[in-house]
Chains A and B, each alone.
Chain A
Amino acid sequence: MANAMTAATPSAPQGNLRSAGAGDTLFKGLCFSAAMLLMLTLVGLIVSLVIGGWPAISHFGFKFLTSSAWDPVTDEYGAAGPVVGTLVTAFMAMVMALPLAFGIAVFLVEFCPKRIANWVSTAVELLAGIPSIVYGMWGLFVLAPWFAEHVQMPIIMNLDPESFWGKVLYGVPNGANIFTASLILAVMVLPYIATVLRELLLTVPPHVREAAYGMGCTPFEVVRAIMLPTVGRSAIGAVMLGLGRALGETMAVTFIIGNSHAFPDSLFASGSTIASTIANEFTEATGELHISALIALGLVLFAITFTTLAAARLLIGREQH
């Protein structure tokens, strides 16, 4: 695109023209500085997290990641509880969101009547527009009470607490636990994954699809045998993108996960994630070590999400950037 342009523009006389003088150089410089500013932001973000978290990291060393003690009174901080909480909720959210997102993407590309296609895809995208805090309130005041009454209570009444499932599904019946947090997260990341998957499915060349239909394939067979293998690797990228979102989500999770630092021991136990711990404690933290431990937690979160997002970008590929 730009190559064609530079080729079409003889560069030598340009500098002599009035309109291409100092103003243009200044403008180009401004644009360049703005782009560099963006780059500096990310570098600054990393550096500030490292500096802020350093006292805790040097104090606890590697134990910071493996210990699950989190006690501001004794100044003992270990990240294992929140880290595991973050990974578990994000993973469960993906397990729930992925089949749904795939179904939505296929429905929109293959089956949705043209008349309502725009409405349906807008509705799905609007799910991504609802602020996190609104999801949190809805989770806390609508989903959690419903879940406690219609899922947790019957389980407690009917399951032997000593049995395997009784242990896995054990929890205080208030609906604020790791499972409901994952459920909310799943709804939140659903539109991101569905939108990317849909765009990917649309990139499958029409003649390939039509050839398959011409051979008498059913839509199911076209999706399974033609479209999925074509988008393959990029689809994993879409999943990672959703995972990145789920890992760093803060407010919705803070509302509904129950906020306990203990290592989660069942599906319906309350827990915490890195983001929810920071949101809950940062303004109330007074000890230097406490603040530093929270920032170090942030650094861990950044490392996890950065890896996930970078992998997503590489997998989705260049044309989608």
Chain B
Amino acid sequence: MAMIDRYTRRRIQNGIFVGLTTLATAVAVAALVMILYSLVSQGFGGLNAAVFTMDQPPPEMEGGLRNAIWGSLELCALAMVISIIVGILAGTWLAEYGEGSKLASVVRFLNDVLLSAPSILVGLFVYEIAVRPFGGFSALAGALALAFLATPVVTRTTEDILRLQSNQLREAGMALGAGKGYVIRAIIWRASRPGLVTGALLGFARISGETAPLLFTALGNPNLSFSLKEPIGSLPAVIFQFALSAYDDWRRLAWVGALLIAFTVLSANIIGRALSRRSHNS
């Protein structure tokens, strides 16, 4: 009798546990669905040609987000060029040259700190080194701030993916008489290409929705601008300004902007993950 009781109790206990973990997962999935639903239901209606062809409007006027979209593209492109170059080289050093050394573990640790450092602090840092000394906000400063945020992501992914390559590849290359640097560039990098692309995509996903570091580096610009020395508009900054305003038109545009950004970031994430899954499997 007592045996059965204990058995039943354990089964009930386990049933409750399974139920609670399922519930927790359901809550997370529900949160994602609810946020995506709000984005689509509030933002999709406002999506029209004017969004892409007109600049941001004064209150209660017709307008779009053209200046912000181009500004975001320019900032992200510039930041990505910097962080892909620096990130891949630094990741290569960590995986191939620094392996096992004390210095490498320090760099790895600091990179991890940068990876999760509050982005607003990076904004303050860039303000101190690239805005204050040159007497003004600029697109270049904004791109620099974003580059500081994307580089650790690229570095980390590069290191991880290079470590996955088998030593036989390296040894085979060296046995043919190639130097270490040549082996890395011609064999290891080539074999890791999907992983390197993943790193870049995840870096892009990290920065394309960033707002805080742009507020006091790129500032914002209501007109279309491509100059590196002038302040430049960006989608996140415009969303911030418009969403907190009292004008319905501005808020509607903020939702459209949020929809655009969220889907860009989510697609970059999904493609990046799909690529890395494929390269891990092969």
Contact = CB atoms under 8 A, between A and B. Distances in A.
Interface of A: 1-5, 8-9, 14, 17, 19-21, 23-25, 27-28, 30-39, 41-42, 44-45, 48-49, 51-52, 99-104, 106-108, 110-112, 120, 122-127, 129-138, 140-142, 187, 190-191, 194, 218-221, 223, 241, 244-245, 247-251, 255, 275, 278-279, 282-283, 294-295, 298, 301-302, 305-306, 309-310, 313, 321
A129 B178 CA distance: 41
A89 to B, nearest CB: 13
A34 to B, nearest CB: 4
A5 B209 contact: no
A248 B148 contact: no
A285 B142 CA distance: 19
B98 interface: yes
B39 interface: yes
A38 B209 contact: no
Interface string B10-49: 1101100110111111011101101100110010000000
B205 A129 contact: yes
B125 A31 contact: no
B216 A282 contact: yes
A9 B118 CA distance: 43
Interface of A is mostly: helix
Q: What class of interface size applies to chain B in its complex with A?
A: 35 or more
A8 B171 contact: yes
Contacts of B219: 283
B157 interface: no
Contact of B93 (A31, A110, A221): A31
B35 A107 contact: no
Contacts of A321: 108, 112
17 contacts: A1-B99, A2-B99, A17-B179, A25-B181, A35-B90, A35-B104, A35-B107, A51-B128, A100-B28, A103-B24, A104-B21, A120-B25, A123-B29, A134-B35, A141-B251, A219-B17, A302-B117
